[in-house]
Amino acid sequence: MSSAYERELKGILEGNEHVLTKITHSCSKEETDNYRRIQTRPFIVVRAAGSLGVDLVALRGDVSFLIEVKSSLEPTLHFSSVNGKLQTQAETMRHDCEKTKTLPIYAYRYKGFRGDTWRIFTFDLPTLEGRAQILNRHLPKLQTSKQGNYIMRWDDGLPCSEFISYLCR
């Protein structure tokens, strides 16, 4: 089922008219206008196959980033669930992005919500440079529990429509 959301986010970042029409039908005018801005500055988005630890790679002349897509019926996602697999995956992504100075993105799709259903997060990575560093400072960070496990609270994320507006200014 998550592959459907990977395809949805891929279509959004590529500026696909059909996908944008579908996902903005319950959005406000401002959210819809922000989403539509991607059509003037779209990305090439590749679905990552196999065990790269990321779902999508978004590329554009001025910025690129790795994206891990998560979806849930719950507003909070604890990475310690599912035998710690999500935590291990996140630590690997963080390490790889630190090493390569690549911006990591977590895109969280809240199932059953009306309006802008996507929220964007990242890790705090001081090693980034250029536009990736600027974006990293702007984006909300994944939180950690007392045990050091990552937590994504959908309410704390940056709405995807605002992320796109920021990327396209």
| Phi-psi category of residue 139: left, alpha or beta, with phi > 0 → left and psi -120 to 50 → alpha | beta
Under-50 pLDDT residues of the chain: 1
The token pair at 83 is: 């035998």
How many structural domains comprise the chain? 1
Which residue, among 158, 120, 159, 161, has the nearest Cα to 32 in the 3D structure?
A: 161
What letter would DSSP give residue 148? S
For residue 154, the domain's CATH number is 3.40.1350.10
pLDDT of residue 52: 59
**Collapsing DSSP states into helix, strand and coil, what is residue 168?**
coil
Report field, pTM of the whole predicted structure over 0.85: yes
Q: Which amino acid is at 24?
A: T
Where in the sequence is the domain holding 110, given as residue range(s)? 2-167
Tokens of 70: 């998560």
Mean pLDDT (the chain, rounded): 93
